[in-house]
Chains A and B, each alone.
Chain A
Amino acid sequence: MKKLLLGCLFIFIITSIKAQDYFPTNTSVKTINNSITVFTNATIHTDPSNFITNGTLIIQNEKIISVGKNLDIPKNAIVIDLNGKHIYPSFIDLYSNFGIAKSKRPSSSSRRPQYDATRKGYYWNDHILTDQRGFEDYKFDAKKAKELHAAGFGVVSSHQRDGIMRGTGIIAALTPNNGVLETDATQHLSFSKSVKSRQGYPYSVMGSMALIRQAYFDADWYAGGHSKTKDLALEALNSNKSLPIIFEGNSLDNTLRAAKIGKEFGLTYTIKGSGFEYEAIEEIKASGANFIVPINFPKPYDVSNPEMAALLNLQDMRQWNQAPSNLKVLAENDVQFALTTADLKSIKSFKSNLLKAIEYGLDKEKALAALTTVPAEILGKSNEIGSLKSGSYANFLITSDEIFEKKTILYENWVQGAKNVITNKELVDIRGNYELALDGKKYTLNISGELSKLKSELKLDSLKIASSINYKDGWINLLFNPLNESKTEFVRLTAAAPDNSALKGEGTLANGSATSWTATKIDGNKDKKKDSKKSQESPIVKPLTYPNVAYGFTNKPTQQTTLYKNATVWTNESEGILQNTDVLVKDGKISKIGQGLKASGATVVDATGKHLTSGVIDEHSHIAASSINEGGHNSTAEVTIEDVIDPDDIGIYRTLSGGVTTIQILHGSANPIGGRSALIKLKWGESANGLLYKDRPKFIKFALGENVKQSRSTTSYRFPQTRMGVEQLYIDYFQRAKEYDALKKSGKPYRKDLELETLAEILNKERFISCHSYVQSEINMLMKVAEKFDFNINTFTHILEGYKVADKMKEHGVGGSTFSDWWAYKYEVNDAIPYNGAIMHSQGVTVAFNSDDGEMIRRLNQEAAKAVKYGGVSEEEAWKFVTLNPAKLLHIDDKVGSVKVGKDADLVLWNGHPMSIYTKAEQTMIEGVVYYDSERDLQLINDVKTERNELINMMLKEKNKGMKTQLPKKKVKELLHCDSLDKQI
């Protein structure tokens, strides 16, 4: 493989040199420049970990001939003495859009949804743009190149940032001549749709994930020659298969999601991250992916207005504080990462931000590697770019000092053997403090900033005078409006080629008379002193919590042996409600139930007067997920909520406070066949993966009625628009799934279809349906469809007219997970009654009360009481509506749902009767770990306040620091503006 690449490269080089040979010339005689340039006496950093002092670098055309110590210098060479200076390989930006203008959204006034692809002969989804070639959109951008040169970059990998599969990117050296090193060097993916097409699917990240997976499967199947039609997108995907894959993650959650797909398909992704990787460093590390990390650290928020400050989340404030340590954390965990200028508003801030990361502990060697050898390796180009060795491209930087120092000046950025001057290296560094004698007055002058863009601060005694300085080609121009002059006239001073100690030159006073002037350097070390003082102050980084938001754990909580003494225990078993009973929790399980229990080493909780129950289970929830609906198609069995769990959702903690331990996160009700569910335990502080219920049964959401008919949309024409159509859709899909499954089982080749796979699981009774439903006609219909295909509907959720067909439900064997008392929010709930649960229960249907709501979910214990209020269910049975019965419906009642020896210790300690409005959860435990404790909660409320206050003060400090430097700057600008002076000054 490598040989092949090298071979290709060899051909490319030959052709690029020969190009000059065979190009006709009409302006002069034909000349070929093969001159050799030699750089001597430099400290040459050949790669991040090696350097040569007093080294020599020899280049010819665009290549390095040799690099080393005491090299023979060819006679025909031009020699450049770089005594005291440093040479580094120039930087590589893997994630650039250099020279590639972003695709534009075609203007369209249509509000009509688009379901099908626009492109013919390509994939069925317009957002799979694997045939897109960044190269075709590429146009050298001289202005942007100049900015990148100044930031130290020599090579970029650039692509068209449009689409989910985005096709190929180029590798380009930042030079207008023959800059493209490779036309199709990388393949690109993201979760975002193309702006070029209005095709609706996918609407969600989980839809994007499913689409990517399906495209991979389809590409395989296509490669096997099974497709009857031509698909140029799949062909492109197959032919670019071996190229490095760069995936745009952008947020931490999406970064981990990209990594998940990479793992599933055995692909090594390089993922463009968010800069917040430190928040989930364990998973980042375990992903095995490479990362491209932006360094646009969050700016401090303006918190001077308390009400505005109150609106900020602790999470955002913490991220401001913690993000600069991201690279340090990545480096210390040996995560392979490259850096990018992407996300930066201005490339100019690249250096200062990088220096900040170094100040926060990033190792300099790692920093350099992240800009040179790492990206080169990811691109498979280590022999050509990223380090200085014979045969590699002559892409290097000449600097005044070691590269990652604040004072360091970048003089030259050589790209492909061509010089780009950033700062004239002959230029004298005039920065420092001076005493300026002029017109009988003594001013102090401070010159600071970048050599290419100096700042001046002029003072007469302690009074600041607006001034402006310009230093170019060895000439200084200083301009100011002298104090107490009513007129806006200026003193203009000029000096040429200064030496190091004094500035001497000519000038014009405000009155127009000529003068000569001298500014003598004083105390040139002042700045350095300041610098060293600063560096001693190491930045304060707030510790992470699990999750890294308010109410997170400082340390991940652990299992404890706990003994609840003397509680009223609601067993949900034949024992019923036990008085004065002890429950022992050990190794995450309920170990003993009885009286007078003892256990050494156990945390003993006095539960006298309190009630102990199993954790509340919500069959229908939408918290802790970052997408809920994939409504782009009428069936989306291919998507799964497991892909989009949001473990940082504060809703998890809030829900724990209501005694809830297990929830099913269901897909929404946008389509008759929705997505697969996620069954999770509310283990606050765990990762998305850690939240998932172990050995969980498989579920999928179906939906009926107004929502799936899109009856409130004025533009929809998606099938079905009636309940009649809904039935036919199911029959069609199940029939196809049946045929699919038969073909699959026959051993003949088949196109792997994620959607039909899922539906086949239902037919094979390996996956259960939880179906959103309201009116009796549709409830009955779905049961009949299922019976036709020889399976059962597992749960009707909402099921507000379940009471009308409770007998039929019982006969079919389906459970009902309903609202206690919701109705009147849409037409189909006209006949919804709060007695529904009681009636279904009376007919032997397994009944649960669910929330479908991030607020009510934390009061499900009280919702159970409504089964008593409306319909007279006994309290003991009503309590099962929110515990054991949902466990049964979810097929997890072997592990949870009751207080029984051997079951998971998912327990809640209530300070009173668990169904009373006056009762609060004191402890919520999952598998022996206390995730919510009302006492601890009070402490956390205070901790959150304290930390917010600390961070706000840190930001104010930052702002005040800024004020000092920013206000005077504004003043100068105003002055110049008022007098309409040429801005060139």
Chain B
Amino acid sequence: MKKLILKISLAFLFVSSQILAQQTPGLTQSESILITGVTAHIGNGTVIENAAIGFDNGKISFVGTAATANQNDFNQVINAEDKHVYPGFIASNTTSGLVEVDAVRASSDIDETGSMLPHIRSIIAYNAESKVTESLRPNGILMGQVTPRGGTISGTSSIVQFDAWNWEDAAMKVDDGIHMNWPSAIRNGRTWMGEESGPTHDKSYNENLTKLKTYFNEARAYLQGDQTPRNLPYESMKGLFDGSQGFFVHAGGVKEITDAVNFCKEMGISRLIIVHGNNAHLVADLLVKNNIPVIIDRSHSLPSHNDEDVNFPYKRAGVLTDLGITVAIGIEGQMERMQSRNLPFYAGTCAAHGMDKEDALKLITSNAAKILGIDDVVGTLEVGKHATLFVSEGDALDMRTNNLSHAFIQGRKLSLETHQTKLWKRYMNKYENQD
């Protein structure tokens, strides 16, 4: 059965897609599998040509050259000559599963009312059966950090894998981090209020900062006391102070980033991650010295300024990496749910503009795993880690060749069908067989 699926036959696939409910999660791995003859992109910068990757019980059990692998140790061997194997890609700072259709308000669970919402948790709203998330898997995106938006403290994110019956099963790391939109020091003149157009200092910036400090100090004090009466928001911030949670500060400017770094030092928050970081390259020394990583925006975006190098968004990851910063690519932006499936190509673009291809791959594998604190289980093809990986016919960072033949999450074989492939086959069948 499994081998048959490899054969591309539209008619057959059409039939099979009717039999299998495609988004049905895969069965727990019962047989060990070896993918051999493949070019293995480990995700940490190295490539093994003519490699073999074996996995059993959902974990990677072998990584090496095909010659060193004993095929007899495995129940099933997938010959993947001329193909490429990659660790599953990770979408950082995504809202996959929180919104189904952008313009349909009823389908959106992304932005809770209020401004200080550390206790608001994305995981419980995560729709494990989203048709949009399903469409990411055939491009190799197998995990995501599901993140709420809006407000000042937007809420708490969780990391999920994209093959589950429900959010509980999907969860890889619950409540991994708290996301905050740092106040902006500079804003544009409000011409409708009679102000001059153009950038101006936001006079309330310092005041906003003071408010933040008060809030965090109160939270810290609360957590050190007997915690009565209960304060849900403060309680939810515990992980920031004990280092078990990441503090994802969404900020772009030099002043904002610098202030955020100092703020965390003052508050004793050890795991700061800058999200966006449009001007992070201007404060690289500070970030390197304090070991602070950056989740940049999709490289497929426009320069943030008319005068900026038209290719700077493409170059940003390379520039930051060269400066010594650990970088991952986030998804946030216009139409982000559906654009998430282009994550591999965001990395590919970085490789086109100054990065080594394997370094670019790290932006959506090992770096992302490190930043999100899940590098002990995913992010690279290494023995002992989850067998969350896929095989592509060609270079998976290029849309010309990104074409998956197999994908596994924790050893479970994924269906690569989607709502969209079903429609494709349904109508091709109409044209080919019903006219």
User: How far apart are the CA atoms of A822 and B311 in the complex, in Å?
Assistant: 23
Is A654 interfacial (CB-CB < 8 Å)?
yes
Pair A824/B338 contact, Cβ less than 8 Å: yes
**Nearest B residue (CB) for A314:** B307
Is B101 interfacial (CB-CB < 8 Å)?
yes
Is B244 interfacial (CB-CB < 8 Å)?
no
Pair A917/B198 contact, Cβ less than 8 Å: no
Partner among A311, A917, A941 whose Cβ is within 8 Å of the Cβ of B349: A917
Interface-lining segment among B164-172, B220-228, B380-388, B419-427: B419-427
Pair B186/A308 contact, Cβ less than 8 Å: yes
Is B293 interfacial (CB-CB < 8 Å)?
no
Partner among B301, B351, B402, B424 whose Cβ is within 8 Å of the Cβ of A839: B424
User: How far apart are the CA atoms of A58 and B353 in the complex, in Å?
Assistant: 79
Pair A913/B400 contact, Cβ less than 8 Å: yes
Pair A917/B101 contact, Cβ less than 8 Å: no
Is A918 interfacial (CB-CB < 8 Å)?
yes
Shortest beta-carbon distance, A963 to chain B, in Å?
18
**Nearest A residue (CB) for B303:** A654
Partner among B132, B198, B302, B403 whose Cβ is within 8 Å of the Cβ of A855: B302
Interface residues of B in 1-30 (CB under 8 A from A): none
Shortest beta-carbon distance, B209 to chain A, in Å?
16
Is A653 interfacial (CB-CB < 8 Å)?
yes
Partner among A311, A706, A803 whose Cβ is within 8 Å of the Cβ of B186: A311
Pair A827/B400 contact, Cβ less than 8 Å: no
By a CB distance below 8 angstroms, the chain B residues around A654 are: 302-303, 310
**Nearest B residue (CB) for A650:** B306
Pair A806/B400 contact, Cβ less than 8 Å: no
Is B253 interfacial (CB-CB < 8 Å)?
yes
User: How far apart are the CA atoms of A856 and B100 in the complex, in Å?
Assistant: 22
**Nearest B residue (CB) for A655:** B310
By a CB distance below 8 angstroms, the chain A residues around B104 are: 826-827
Contact with B along A633-663 (1 / 0, CB 8 A): 0000000000000000010011001000000
Shortest beta-carbon distance, B341 to chain A, in Å?
7
Shortest beta-carbon distance, A761 to chain B, in Å?
34
By a CB distance below 8 angstroms, the chain A residues around B305 are: 310-311, 313
Is B398 interfacial (CB-CB < 8 Å)?
yes
Interface-lining segment among A150-158, A503-511, A665-673, A863-871: A863-871
Number of A-B contacts (CB under 8 A): 143
User: How far apart are the CA atoms of A913 and B348 in the complex, in Å?
Assistant: 14
Is A712 interfacial (CB-CB < 8 Å)?
yes
Pair B311/A657 contact, Cβ less than 8 Å: yes
Pair B198/A825 contact, Cβ less than 8 Å: no
**Known contacts A301-B198, A806-B431, A826 near B101 by CB under 8 Å:** yes
Pair B400/A868 contact, Cβ less than 8 Å: yes
**Nearest A residue (CB) for B422:** A833
Is B309 interfacial (CB-CB < 8 Å)?
yes
Is A807 interfacial (CB-CB < 8 Å)?
yes
Pair B307/A550 contact, Cβ less than 8 Å: yes
Partner among A807, A868, A915, A944 whose Cβ is within 8 Å of the Cβ of B431: A807
**Nearest B residue (CB) for A306:** B254
Pair A657/B428 contact, Cβ less than 8 Å: no
By a CB distance below 8 angstroms, the chain A residues around B390 are: none
Pair B300/A316 contact, Cβ less than 8 Å: no
Is A842 interfacial (CB-CB < 8 Å)?
yes
User: How far apart are the CA atoms of A704 and B251 in the complex, in Å?
Assistant: 39
User: How far apart are the CA atoms of A307 and B131 in the complex, in Å?
Assistant: 42
Pair B431/A824 contact, Cβ less than 8 Å: no
Is B435 interfacial (CB-CB < 8 Å)?
yes
User: How far apart are the CA atoms of A315 and B399 in the complex, in Å?
Assistant: 37
Pair A917/B400 contact, Cβ less than 8 Å: yes
Shortest beta-carbon distance, A848 to chain B, in Å?
17
Pair A824/B424 contact, Cβ less than 8 Å: no
Pair A855/B301 contact, Cβ less than 8 Å: yes
User: How far apart are the CA atoms of A870 and B421 in the complex, in Å?
Assistant: 9
By a CB distance below 8 angstroms, the chain B residues around A489 are: none
User: How far apart are the CA atoms of A870 and B399 in the complex, in Å?
Assistant: 10
Pair A918/B255 contact, Cβ less than 8 Å: no
By a CB distance below 8 angstroms, the chain B residues around A941 are: 309
Count contacts on A: residues with CB < 8 A to the other chain: 65
Pair B420/A834 contact, Cβ less than 8 Å: yes
User: How far apart are the CA atoms of A712 and B106 in the complex, in Å?
Assistant: 12
Contact with A along B317-344 (1 / 0, CB 8 A): 0000000000000000001011001100
Pair A307/B348 contact, Cβ less than 8 Å: no
Pair A826/B103 contact, Cβ less than 8 Å: yes
Partner among B101, B186, B345, B427 whose Cβ is within 8 Å of the Cβ of A804: B427
Chain B's interface size range is 35 or more
Pair A862/B335 contact, Cβ less than 8 Å: no
Is A823 interfacial (CB-CB < 8 Å)?
yes
**Known contacts A869-B403, A917-B397, A313 near B335 by CB under 8 Å:** no
By a CB distance below 8 angstroms, the chain A residues around B338 are: 821-825
Pair B400/A869 contact, Cβ less than 8 Å: yes
**Nearest A residue (CB) for B131:** A824
Partner among B341, B398, B427 whose Cβ is within 8 Å of the Cβ of A916: B398
Contact with A along B396-414 (1 / 0, CB 8 A): 0111101100000000000
Pair B102/A869 contact, Cβ less than 8 Å: no
Pair B300/A856 contact, Cβ less than 8 Å: yes
Pair A948/B307 contact, Cβ less than 8 Å: yes
Contact with A along B71-107 (1 / 0, CB 8 A): 0000000000000000000000000000011111000
By a CB distance below 8 angstroms, the chain A residues around B427 are: 803-804, 806, 839
Partner among B131, B307, B353, B400 whose Cβ is within 8 Å of the Cβ of A865: B400
Pair B428/A839 contact, Cβ less than 8 Å: yes
Contact with A along B25-60 (1 / 0, CB 8 A): 000000000000000000000000000000000000
Is A278 interfacial (CB-CB < 8 Å)?
no
**Nearest B residue (CB) for A853:** B334
User: How far apart are the CA atoms of A654 and B309 in the complex, in Å?
Assistant: 9
Is B352 interfacial (CB-CB < 8 Å)?
yes
Pair A824/B348 contact, Cβ less than 8 Å: no
**Nearest A residue (CB) for B199:** A311
Pair A824/B100 contact, Cβ less than 8 Å: yes
Pair A824/B132 contact, Cβ less than 8 Å: yes
By a CB distance below 8 angstroms, the chain B residues around A869 are: 399-400, 402-403
By a CB distance below 8 angstroms, the chain A residues around B190 are: none
Shortest beta-carbon distance, A932 to chain B, in Å?
9
Shortest beta-carbon distance, B17 to chain A, in Å?
13
Pair B435/A807 contact, Cβ less than 8 Å: yes
User: How far apart are the CA atoms of A551 and B305 in the complex, in Å?
Assistant: 13
Is B211 interfacial (CB-CB < 8 Å)?
no
Interface residues of A in 845-887 (CB under 8 A from B): 854-856, 858-859, 862, 865-866, 868-871, 875
**Known contacts A301-B198, A826-B101, A855-B301, A653 near B310 by CB under 8 Å:** yes
Pair A308/B311 contact, Cβ less than 8 Å: no
By a CB distance below 8 angstroms, the chain B residues around A171 are: none
User: How far apart are the CA atoms of A917 and B399 in the complex, in Å?
Assistant: 7
Is B265 interfacial (CB-CB < 8 Å)?
no
Shortest beta-carbon distance, A650 to chain B, in Å?
5
Of the listed residues B132, B303, B349, B398, the one surrounded by the most CB atoms of chain A closer than 10 A to its CB is B398
User: How far apart are the CA atoms of A314 and B309 in the complex, in Å?
Assistant: 13
User: How far apart are the CA atoms of A653 and B306 in the complex, in Å?
Assistant: 10
Is A466 interfacial (CB-CB < 8 Å)?
no
User: How far apart are the CA atoms of A915 and B352 in the complex, in Å?
Assistant: 13
**Known contacts A657-B310, A821-B341, A827-B103, A866 near B431 by CB under 8 Å:** no
Pair B349/A825 contact, Cβ less than 8 Å: no
What are 9 inter-chain pairs, A to B, with CB distance below 8 A?
Answer: A307-B253, A311-B198, A311-B305, A313-B306, A313-B307, A822-B335, A826-B102, A871-B424, A915-B399
Given A855-B302, A865-B399, 11 other A-B residues pairs in contact with their CB atoms under 8 A? A301-B198, A308-B186, A311-B305, A312-B199, A653-B310, A654-B310, A827-B103, A833-B424, A839-B424, A865-B400, A937-B309
Q: When A and B form their complex, which 7 residue pairs have the shortest distance between CB atoms, in order from nearest?
A: A826-B103, A835-B424, A917-B348, A311-B199, A833-B420, A824-B338, A550-B307
Contact surface of A with B, Cβ cutoff 8 Å: 301, 305, 307-308, 310-316, 549-551, 650, 653-654, 657, 706, 712, 803-804, 806-807, 821-827, 829-831, 833-835, 838-839, 842-843, 854-856, 858-859, 862, 865-866, 868-871, 875, 913, 915-920, 937, 941, 944, 948
